[in-house]
Amino acid sequence: MTRFISGRTPTTNAEAFERALVVTPGGVNSPVRAFRSVGGTPVFLASGHGPYVVDVEGTEYVDLVGQWGPALLGHAHPDVIAAAHEAVARGLGFGASSTGEVELAELVLDRLTLGEGASERRGIEKLRLVSTGTEATMTAIRLARGATGRPLLVKFAGHYHGHSDSLLSEAGSGIATLGIPGSAGITPETAAQTIVIPYNDEDALAEVFALHGDRIAAIITEAAAANMGVVPPKPGFNRLLGETARAHGALLIVDEVMTGFRSTAAGWWGLEEAAGSGYDADLTTFGKIIGGGLPLAGLGGRAEILDLLAPLGPVYQAGTLSGNPVAVATGAAMLRGAGPEVYDRLPRTARTIADGLSAALSAEGVAHTVAWAGSQFSIFFRPDAPQNYAEAQDQHTWRFGAYFHAMLEHGVSLPPSVYEAWFVSAAHDDAAIERVLAAAGPAAKAAAAATPAL
Ligand SMILES: Cc1ncc(COP(=O)(O)O)c(C=O)c1O
Ligand SMILES: N[C@H](C=O)CCC(=O)O
């Protein structure tokens, strides 16, 4: 007799969650999905199409989670699905190199390399593919330590770079959502190698380098922070990070796992280049969109640094599933499908939605602000945009649960945390936007009526 297998597919979210709780820690495979900060039963999704997702009960929602970023063209885009089918038919993976990996690297490098004659520090010359953003940032740190022979890492409070040990101190995303300072299970020795400073704070940066400059291997930063809600860098801050690192013989790692291929065709880096505040990253990490929705991520940089990776160099990194042929095919299909019209459309769609939501909140007298980084935005329940984690936490977070559930009831799926960014896709058409705007009034009323927990 089987103990766990029920043989029946759950038909309600409650039933699905109940069963998940028995066999999965917290009923989820990634903490934010558990709805802990907003309360209630998580939805279990059965399918997605265009701007919509559908749960196991058959309820359709306009999706503003976008797979946490990868769904740039919307769900189940025909070209991406066709690329997956074609690749699957040839085999799921070989544990050997395949030409699709090279094609994807070429597509990425083409978007991120400056023209001939540009300073040789700029742009990305080589790319190593891995399977998750966590692996990409973890490898970037190892590479920085290997390249400099130094131990320390500087990160910013509220930034999230995945869940490797060195990077969970005062992290954003789920760590912020759960209201905890970091994770158990990390040795004090490891934690001591990461120095956390406030974001957008030039003085703290100067001070940490004055004190420890010759022991710092790297600064790691989100290209534009979006895991404590959206908090963009002050103009010129990323450039200052590059200059400071360079002046002290350290490296700058810019994490574009979320912003890469979303803010512009060339990610946040492209946006700052166009704005005249371009910066020199020594290493750049990618994830999400680069895999087109399947597990794939990457680490890029100048050849002299990337070539320190095995087999050429002494810094080890490997992966059974690295460069998986199906994931590189879906990633390439997504990048090929993300032409100028996509990057033109995304900010306009985001702006229309955000303006409508903001107007509804204002009409209900709810203090709030919409914060932006390219086409990504999030709503803070405070009157002005925060510049760092302390300010991002200083808001009426207690309004968000009511707001979130009112949206869900009216057919709009938001990230289930006040500290996550919202994502639109190229598939969000007028009908989807209308549905979001129709939910704006009731959600604003719910936020206005919310009260802090005792
Ligand atoms: C900026 C950033 N870096 C790294 C990661 C880690 O990526 P993954 O979840 O694929 O490990 C994430 C998201 O999870 C992210 O938003
Ligand atoms: N903020 C995270 C990634 O960007 C959300 C994904 C997760 O933790 O499940």
* pLDDT tens-place string over residues 21-59: 999 999 999 999 999 999 999 999 999 999 999 999 999
Mutate to test the pocket of ligand 2, among 28, 160, 259, 376 (most ligand atoms within 8 A of CB): 160
Per-residue pLDDT averaged across 182-191, rounded?
90
- Ligand 1 centroid – CA 163 distance (Å): 8
Structure tokens belonging to residue 63: 């999706």
Ligand 2 pocket, 137 CB below 6 A? no
- The atom of ligand 2 lying closest to the CA of 257 is 4
Say yes or no to pLDDT of 115 above 60.
Answer: no
Residues with Cβ within 8 Å of 374's Cβ and at least 6 positions away in sequence, in order, are 224, 259, 262, 263, 264, 268, 271, 346, 347
Ligand 2 pocket, 30 CB below 6 A? yes
Ligand 2 pocket, 174 CB below 6 A? yes
How much of the chain, in percent, has pLDDT values that exceed 90?
90
Phi, psi at residue 220, to the nearest 5°?
-115, 135
Structure tokens belonging to residue 114: 């400056």
- The atom of ligand 1 lying closest to the CA of 256 is 1
pLDDT tens for each residue of 64-104: 999 999 999 999 999 999 999 999 999 999 999 999 999 99
Give the global pTM.
Answer: 0.97
Say yes or no to pLDDT of 175 above 60.
Answer: yes
Q: Is 453 exposed, middle or buried (0-12, 13-18, 19+ CB in 10 A)?
A: exposed
Mutate to test the pocket of ligand 2, among 45, 134, 173, 259 (most ligand atoms within 8 A of CB): 173
- The atom of ligand 1 lying closest to the CA of 222 is 1
Ligand 1 pocket, 420 CB below 6 A? no
pLDDT tens for each residue of 83-92: 999 999 999 9
Q: Indicate left, alpha or beta for 366 from its phi (over 0: left) and psi (-120 to 50: alpha).
A: beta
**CA dist list (Å): 296 to 105, 135, 150, 321, 323:** 12, 10, 29, 9, 7
Query: What confidence tier does 122 reach under pLDDT thresholds 50, 70, 90?
Result: low
- Ligand 1 centroid – CA 287 distance (Å): 7
Query: What confidence tier does 114 reach under pLDDT thresholds 50, 70, 90?
Result: low
Q: Name the 3-class secondary structure at 402.
A: helix
- Ligand 1 centroid – CA 346 distance (Å): 21
Per-residue pLDDT averaged across 148-156, rounded?
98
Closest protein CA for atom 3 of ligand 2: 68
Q: Where are the alpha helices (DSSP H) in 252-363?
A: 267-275, 303-306, 325-337, 340-363
pLDDT tens for each residue of 221-254: 999 999 999 999 999 999 999 999 999 999 999 9
Q: What pLDDT does 154 receive?
A: 98
How much of the chain, in percent, has pLDDT values that exceed 70?
98
The span from the CA of 270 to the CA of 278, in Å, is 8
Say yes or no to pLDDT of 275 above 80.
Answer: yes
Residues involved in catalysis: 160, 255, 288
- Ligand 2 centroid – CA 173 distance (Å): 6
Q: What pLDDT does 121 receive?
A: 45
Say yes or no to pLDDT of 120 above 70.
Answer: no
Ligand 1 pocket, 17 CB below 6 A? no
Q: What pLDDT does 356 receive?
A: 98
- Ligand 2 centroid – CA 260 distance (Å): 15
